[in-house]
Structure 1
Amino acid sequence: MELQPHFALMASYNQWMNAKVYEAASKLTAAELTQERSAFFGSMFGTLNHIAVADTIWLKRFATHPSSTARTLAVMIDLPTPERLDQVMFDDLAGLKAHRRWLDTVIINWVAALTDDDLSTTLSYHNTKGVASKRRYSSLILHFFNHQTHHRGQVSTLLSQAGVDVGVTDLLALIPDEG
């Protein structure tokens, strides 16, 4: 089974949903976005920030993969590596949104370059606590997209509770009808 088309779909979904979530979030004040709401990362802003932090960490790891497609992630190498999963990357939604759009473009370009040979290999890395791991590359990419979806779902729930509708969030909206 070819995995790359599935990851390309996930990259498109990621970009589409991030645009929708950030558009919805922009309807709230800074105080509403940073209000403690008992989410894993406290607030909507804290959760959006965490997604960007985690994506940065994973993309920097993926950039170390020995495949030629890792070169598409060379732009990640010089970025500072977040030290904590809740490290604040930007002080405001505008800065975080601009970084998010940039990350999503990096992700789209990287995934477009992936090959099935790349996906069948492993990646050695250290987690944020320094624990070494060696795992199947395709499974790590699946985790990468699943993590985004998990936390974006939390943000969409918090937005809904704040009276802001994100709209359709189903992946199904991007799957072409083969009719």
Structure 2
Amino acid sequence: MKSNFELMAAYNQSMNQRLFESASVLSLSELEKDRGAFFRSIMGTLNHILVGDTIWLKRFADHKTGFNSLEYVRNLPSPNALDETLYSTFGPLQEARSKMDNAFLNFTSEITESDLSGILEYKNTKGLHFAKNFGQILQHVVNHQTHHRGQVTTLLTQVGVDVGVTDLLLSIPDAKV
């Protein structure tokens, strides 16, 4: 499982870089325009992805293992809402995304198979306590990122911006036969 999460973290980083490069051709007003998406706009959805990553990686940072790779995340303020605008301008959002992706990549290098089969205890945003399988929660985080990046890709396509091929398949190394 560890190698799978390392692959997904690298894919996540690559796709986020491509997404932000693609979105950078639009003006801030185009990025903020309400396009009827769940988080309204491209900026709203990009902020939401970062909010979700911040919330979840802070929960992993609180794990008894004390992952050193999540020190950056540990020091971030906790978002107050899933639709919170962490960054209202594109450049700082892109920089924060890059730092989060680096932290996530380093985190997946640091985790062990034992961590993945263990339990993550956390409180949700309403203060309710949960204990769930660590690896399955990490899979949720990866899935959440991919889901909302797909929404942003659709929004960009609707305004004529081509993000290119986004298939995970291209990130999977060729096997030696």
**TM-score normalised by the shorter chain: which range applies?**
over 0.9
Partners of 1:48 and 1:171 in 2: CA distance: 20
Match of 2:59 in 1: 61
Q: If the length of structure 2 is used for normalisation, what is the TM-score?
A: 0.97
Offset of 1:75 from its aligned partner? 2.1
Return 5+ residue gaps in structure 2 as ranges. none
**Could you say which residue in structure 2 is the equivalent of 1:46?**
44
Alpha-carbon distance between aligned partners in 1 of 2:65 and 2:117, rounded to the nearest angstrom: 11
Quote the RMSD (CA, aligned, Å): 0.9
**Deviations 1:104-149 (CA, angstroms, capped at 9, x unpaired):** 0011111011110111110111111222111000001000000000
* Superposed CA offset, 1:89-115 (max 9, x none): 111010000000000001111101111
Corresponding residue number in structure 2 for 1:7? 5
Q: How many residues align?
A: 176
**Amino acid in structure 2 at the alignment position of 1:107:** F
Q: 2: distance between equivalents of 1:37 and 1:120?
A: 40
Q: Which runs of 5+ in 1 are unaligned?
A: none
Matched, 1:77 2:74: yes
Q: TM-score, normalised by structure 1?
A: 0.96
The aligned runs of 1:6-45 (5 Å cut-off) are 6-45=4-43
Q: Offset of 1:77 from its aligned partner?
A: 1.7
Please give the alpha-carbon distance, in whole angstroms, between the structure 2 residues aligned to 1:23 and 1:71. Answer: 29
Aligned partner of 1:101 in structure 2 is: 98
**Identity across the alignment (%):** 48
Q: Which amino acid aligns with 1:149?
A: T
Q: Aligned residue for 1:137?
A: 134
Counterpart CA distance in 1 for 2:127 and 2:37 is 26
For 2:83, the equivalent position in structure 1 comes to: 86
